[in-house]
Amino acid sequence: MFSWSNNNSTSTSKVGSTYPGRRLQQNRASASAATPIQGSIRPPTHTRAQHLKSYLEDPTLQRSTRRVSSDDTTFDTVFQTTKGDTLILRVNIPLGSSFAAFCPTMTLAGVKVRHPWVSESSSMMRVTGYPPIQSEQAWKNSNMLLGAAVHEVVKNFQLNAPQVLDITDNGLRSIQTKKTAGTRTPTQTPPRSNNGMYNSTSSTRSSHDDAPPSYNVVAEAESTPAPEIPMPPIPSTYDEVDNASREELDEILQDDLEFKAFVHRLKISDEIFTIGSSRLDENVLLANENLEQEAKLKTLQSEVNELHSTLKSKLDAFSKLEKEQDVICAPPDLKSTIKKLQKAKKEAFEESEELAEEWVDDGVGTVDDFCKRFLEQRKVHHMRAAKMEILNNQER
């Protein structure tokens, strides 16, 4: 019989021999213990749903972001730069379940620009300068949510505005035209600080300045321009602080009351206050003129209400007459017409019979007169009978 051991071997060799499958398993176990496995099979830190939620529910990006693909893989975020250019950041998110293994791709859609973060060799204007999305491993090691990454890229493009070389998208070009023509007031962007980030002081005073414009504002075909108010030019220097020290300036900036008092002491503040007061007086004058027209408007309103009531009553009468007209002008019912002809035919026959009986009984008139009158009456009878026959044939 077949034996796993050599029949000619000694008993010692038999004891030392083992099942070949067991030896293979032991070899694999020792090899795996000696060579560590690269990488990790742990699930990703953030799921794809968490990445999407952080992006679509971001308080700053939410109102200016929309989906542009049939699935949830491609989104556009509209924003404006400090130069006033409106740009679109297109974000593509892999559809695979292992999202952490694939970094998102970001491109500037519809334009050709020059910027340190945008690859010049890519015709799609792909964003390659942001470190977390330069490679899959960098994205995985960053442990960032997608919303935070998009927010950082948009913020950098807002503050460090790209140089727009060409606008290839007609819709985006029309937006730029409307913006420059003054038909739409651009959304303000936060001032630029030395480190390329948001200025902490200004961001606390205006929490919505860094928000990009919403799609409804950008895609709006026409909007009412803001009224032009002549404002005094902002001076580049202030005599009040030329000789002030750094400590004095810090005290003014850190104390809100002191800062407001300083602003009210400026000459330009008085000019702005004067302009505001004049505008307020104009508004009061216009309001008084509107109030003077109140009595006239109320009189016109009562006349309109009275005319409306008259119109309503006449419309009701017209509707009633229109229904009667429809009944009169409607084609007659075939069966009812046949019944009426049947009755009229019978009446004509009875009248002719009565005429004959009267002539036989009384003998008034000549024979010719009787025949003429009798034939006329019978002619009506036969005409009605013929009409009945025609209608009966139509009914069949």
Helices (H) and strands (E) in the chain, counts: 14, 6
Helix (H) or strand (E) holding 75: strand 74-80
Quick one: 72 and 122 in the same domain? yes
User: For residue 159, is it within any domain?
Assistant: yes
Give the CB-side neighbour count of residue 243, counting CA atoms within 13 A.
Answer: 2
- So what's the pLDDT on residue 96? 60
List of residues 6+ apart from 127 with CB closer than 8 A: 89, 105, 106, 107, 108, 117, 118, 119, 133, 153
User: For residue 119, is it within any domain?
Assistant: yes
- So what's the pLDDT on residue 248? 84
Q: Which residues pair with 111 in a beta bridge?
A: 167
Q: Dump pLDDT digits (tens) for 131-173.
A: 999 888 888 888 889 999 999 999 999 999 999 988 888 888 8
User: For residue 186, is it within any domain?
Assistant: no
Q: Dump pLDDT digits (tens) for 303-347.
A: 999 999 999 999 999 999 999 998 888 887 888 888 888 899 899
Domain boundary among 288, 306, 324: 306
Quick one: 60 and 165 in the same domain? yes
User: For residue 27, is it within any domain?
Assistant: no
User: For residue 126, is it within any domain?
Assistant: yes
Q: Dump pLDDT digits (tens) for 245-303.
A: 888 888 888 888 888 888 888 888 888 888 888 888 888 888 988 898 998 999 999 99
User: For residue 187, is it within any domain?
Assistant: no
CA 236 to chain centre: 43
Quick one: 91 and 144 in the same domain? yes
Q: Is the pLDDT of residue 361 over 60?
A: yes
Quick one: 146 and 246 in the same domain? no
- So what's the pLDDT on residue 329? 86
- So what's the pLDDT on residue 305? 94
Question: Given the structure tokens 């939620």, which residue do they identify?
Answer: 53
- So what's the pLDDT on residue 265? 80
- So what's the pLDDT on residue 182? 44
Q: Which residues pair with 126 in a beta bridge?
A: 107
User: For residue 325, is it within any domain?
Assistant: no
Quick one: 283 and 349 in the same domain? no
The parent domain of residue 64 ranges over 48-180
Burial class of residue 11 (count of CB atoms within 10 Å of its CB; 0-12, 13-18, 19+): exposed
Q: How confident is the model at residue 357 (pLDDT cuts 50, 70, 90)?
A: confident
- Mean pLDDT, residues 38-48: 58
Quick one: 95 and 172 in the same domain? yes
- So what's the pLDDT on residue 338? 87
Q: Is the pLDDT of residue 27 over 70?
A: no
Q: How confident is the model at residue 23 (pLDDT cuts 50, 70, 90)?
A: very low
Q: Dump pLDDT digits (tens) for 96-105.
A: 644 445 688 9
Quick one: 340 and 295 in the same domain? no
Quick one: 152 and 116 in the same domain? yes
Q: How confident is the model at residue 225 (pLDDT cuts 50, 70, 90)?
A: low
User: Whole-model pTM above 0.85?
Assistant: no
- So what's the pLDDT on residue 89? 93
Quick one: 154 and 79 in the same domain? yes
Quick one: 286 and 350 in the same domain? no
Quick one: 389 and 347 in the same domain? yes
Q: Kindly provide the b/e burial profile for residues 37-51, where b requires at least 16 CB atoms within 10 angstroms of the residue's own CB.
A: eeeeeeeeebebeeb
CATH classification of the domain holding 118:
3.10.110
User: For residue 190, is it within any domain?
Assistant: no
* Number of domains observed in the structure of the chain: 3
